Amino acid sequence: MNILHIDTSAKKPEQSNSRMLGKLFLQQLNNQGITPDIDYLDLTKDIQPHLTAEFVKATYTNEQDRTDEMKATLKHSDAMCKRVMNAQMIVCGLPMYNWTIPATFKTFLDTIIRTGITYDLLPDGTTKGKLTDKHVIFITTRGADLRSGAFQHMDAMTPVLKACCNFLGITNAYFVDAQPLQFTNQQEREQALIRAKQELTALADSLSKLY
């Protein structure tokens, strides 16, 4: 089984909760007898390029009509899409930054949302996502507690992830949200981590039965 494991926390790795929780989830899978091949992608080191005019032109040109220059422009994205399509499971560690996903993850999404590879454009103009067979686990960390209260309406992270899942045909998406981890007292932080670890353990337990 192949897992694409993505980290995005800009903190030093040993100080990052999302990185720690991602590792813990993989360890829990191991404990359940799953020994996957891990394709690791650290988006703070392997930063994806922003969209360019050349990329947009190339990606919307039919494959058979692409020039060598267009093919070269898409080469990196092609390779990244291949990594996504090769994975049965995708584990994403995502801290909330300014109420939404890290910008590095947005450029990753821009890199891998590709007509004809990760989704199909159908003759009637509708689209069909091609990631239907994948389990995608979003491990999010937040400084504040957005489950209720004053900040609840500020969550611009979950909606964008759900929209992308919907577009890409990901029906098996799981969210483990560790919060509050910063703007609160020590006891609440600890409780938030305990909750997240319990959820990840239960998720590893149930998903391991499918592999």
Residue-by-residue DSSP string for the chain = -EEEEEE---S-GGG-HHHHHHHHHHHHHHHTT--PEEEEEETTTSPPPPP-HHHHHHHTS-GGG--HHHHHHHHHHHHHHHHHHH-SEEEEEEE-BTTB--HHHHHHHHHH--BTTTEEE-TTS-EEES-TT-EEEEEEE-SS--SSSTTGGG--SHHHHHHHHHHHT--EEEEEEE--SSSS-HHHHHHHHHHHHHHHHHHHHHHHTT-
Q: Which of 88, 158, 182, 208 is the binder for ligand FMN (CB under 6 A)?
A: 182
Residues touching ligand FMN, count (CB under 6 A): 17
Residue 18 annotated as part of some ligand binding site: yes
- Enter the tokens of residue 35: 């020994």
Q: Which is nearer to ligand FMN, 34 or 177 (CB)?
A: 177
Q: Which of 31, 52, 67, 98 is the binder for ligand FMN (CB under 6 A)?
A: 98
Q: Which of 43, 58, 74, 95 is the binder for ligand FMN (CB under 6 A)?
A: 95
Q: Which of 3, 4, 16, 55 is the binder for ligand FMN (CB under 6 A)?
A: 16
Q: Which of 3, 4, 6, 18 is the binder for ligand FMN (CB under 6 A)?
A: 18
Residue 17 annotated as part of some ligand binding site: yes
Q: Which stretch binds ligand FMN (CB under 6 A): 80-88, 129-137, 138-146, 202-210?
A: 138-146
Q: Which is nearer to ligand FMN, 151 or 211 (CB)?
A: 151
Q: Where on the chain is the footprint of ligand FMN (CB under 6 A)?
A: 9, 11, 16-19, 95-99, 141-144, 181-182
Q: Which positions make up the binding site for FMN? A: 9, 16-18
